[in-house]
Structure 1
């Protein structure tokens, strides 16, 4: 009896720790959206955020990558590493962060993960031969409804070019979906794939920025703002969120952990009120709730999206 009680307590403790890791990943992903929007509002360009994210993540992950074997990029391989970097490297951030120059936080926070879920679902069904279940159909319909609601109310006199941001968010979501599918098909570890993409992106971007770019916008930032942006984009979004999510998957199982990315849009909208000063309109709230609920329904049955976050 004592052994049974001890095992039950250990299982409960493990589950609690897994939930904490999952929620930590959710908050860090949400902060990425909030501060990408804040960066756009303060005049930073996507190239600035690229410079903040990938070199910092590369410095943090390089020792891990060397320990696992730099010769084959920690088991990812150079060829596959280049392909992965094309999906979640500078191109992903160029569109994902660039969209916030045209559209508000609510739009990007909902459209990027929603598009990622839709694209990954389509590939899983059409290419990988997975079944189109009732849960998936319901989730897809809800996500499409949420996106449509936000899109229809997004272009206003205050934001006449919001549609440009919508397209950019969708491209970024498609990039993340491609990364998700590659991780699944090639059976890559999420951390290994992230390390490979970060290091390769830094190898390409840093010399390019040093030769042709400028640090004027970053240098003009108050030091506390610069540290905050580096922490959010380089440390949290670039490294810690992925590590935390991987730990939650290990402790909770893929089925339970898959629900964490689904709540990122709602958390981003809530955090955006005090941190970015953006209060979503009623249609945006409704669209976010509809899409978030749809993501939760769909993610529960999409193995490809259970391996990595949003």
Structure 2
């Protein structure tokens, strides 16, 4: 019986860490409105606090080298305020579980659509079957959320889908352009901080001054540093050591873990039909991602 090499062990550990990092981010973002912070404050934390680390790294590595102005502008826009404000707005209407379902869960389906529309890449039967399972489960979960939680939950679901479209565009372009992790940090954090923070300070509503200390610290740490810096490093390490296929398969657990945490921590309702649809969604994700070839280690 063979055992995993140390590098593979750390790769699997990094991939599973990301599942919990993203799943807890769903919970933290869902409860943000109760802290008195606005969605504009959360976006400012995401870009501004992360820049404390991102700016020195960018000055050292100079990641703008090798990128054209068009590439910098496109990646910065895709990962910019429109994307993240749609996502944060979604949590005002829909439960945390729906964030994982409609952002992470729909990524393979949206990527198939982009591939077919832009690059004439015809999906395989496996991809079509996995995509069909994802679509059916998403529709069922959307109806379940509207019935159990709020008739306006569909608004949040739609905003999450818009966020997924943005993120799927980033995934496709980063692969096509061979964007490095440091280039993502530079475009997604530093450039957007320079553009967004002055607008936030001068024109956008803020609850920063009145927010309780505990929730403020939680949101600052998680929105500012965890998903977009630590998460990015973990994903890069997992992809290098265990390959994209294994990493993607593990990350397919985000919707399920997010839904479970929503039930346990936030007492968000999930019906038996919703549980069945969530299982179907996970199966569809696994079918969709297993086709990917691992990257060279």
Larger mean Cα displacement after TM superposition, 262-271 or 285-294: 285-294
- Rounded to whole Å, the distance in 2 between the matches of 1:51 and 1:137 is 39
Q: Say if 2:102 and 2:164, in contact at 8 Å, map to a contact too.
A: yes
C-alpha deviations, 1:254-307, integer Å up to 9, x for none?
A: 22122132111111122223433324232322222211221121122257xx89
Q: Name the residue aligned to 2:50.
A: 57
Query: Which secondary structure state, in structure 2, belongs to the residue aligned with residue 65 of structure 1?
Result: helix
In the TM superposition, what is the alpha-carbon distance from 1:74 to its structure 2 partner?
4.9
Q: Say if 1:37 and 1:276, in contact at 8 Å, map to a contact too.
A: no
C-alpha deviations, 1:53-105, integer Å up to 9, x for none?
A: 111122212222112216xx253343212211211221111111101111112
In the TM superposition, what is the alpha-carbon distance from 1:184 to its structure 2 partner?
1.1
- Rounded to whole Å, the distance in 2 between the matches of 1:145 and 1:191 is 37
| Distance verdict in 2 for CA 1:116–1:43, change over 3 Å | farther
Q: Name the residue aligned to 2:268.
A: 278
Q: TM-score, normalised by structure 2?
A: 0.91
Q: Say if 1:41 and 1:101, in contact at 8 Å, map to a contact too.
A: no
Q: Name the residue aligned to 2:256.
A: 266
| Distance verdict in 2 for CA 1:218–1:285, change over 3 Å | farther
- Rounded to whole Å, the distance in 2 between the matches of 1:157 and 1:147 is 15
In the TM superposition, what is the alpha-carbon distance from 1:181 to its structure 2 partner?
0.9
Q: Name the residue aligned to 2:59.
A: 66
In the TM superposition, what is the alpha-carbon distance from 1:43 to its structure 2 partner?
4.5
C-alpha deviations, 1:175-204, integer Å up to 9, x for none?
A: 111111110111112442233211111101
C-alpha RMSD over aligned residues = 2.2
Larger mean Cα displacement after TM superposition, 128-137 or 94-103: 128-137
Q: Name the residue aligned to 1:13.
A: 6
- Rounded to whole Å, the distance in 2 between the matches of 1:33 and 1:151 is 17
Q: Name the residue aligned to 2:106.
A: 115
- 1:245 equivalent to 2:238? Answer no
- Rounded to whole Å, the distance in 2 between the matches of 1:26 and 1:157 is 26
Query: Which secondary structure state, in structure 2, belongs to the residue aligned with residue 32 of structure 1?
Result: helix
Number of aligned residues: 295
Q: Name the residue aligned to 2:174.
A: 183
Q: Say if 1:125 and 1:132, in contact at 8 Å, map to a contact too.
A: yes
| Distance verdict in 2 for CA 1:128–1:155, change over 3 Å | same
Q: Which runs of 5+ in 1 are unaligned?
A: 1-7
- 1:222 equivalent to 2:212? Answer yes
Q: Name the residue aligned to 1:85.
A: 76
- 1:40 equivalent to 2:33? Answer yes
| Distance verdict in 2 for CA 1:141–1:150, change over 3 Å | same
- Rounded to whole Å, the distance in 2 between the matches of 1:153 and 1:276 is 17
Larger mean Cα displacement after TM superposition, 201-210 or 253-262: 253-262
Q: Which runs of 5+ in 2 are unaligned?
A: none
| Distance verdict in 2 for CA 1:178–1:274, change over 3 Å | same
In the TM superposition, what is the alpha-carbon distance from 1:40 to its structure 2 partner?
3.1
Larger mean Cα displacement after TM superposition, 74-83 or 193-202: 74-83
Q: TM-score, normalised by structure 1?
A: 0.87
Q: Name the residue aligned to 1:144.
A: 135
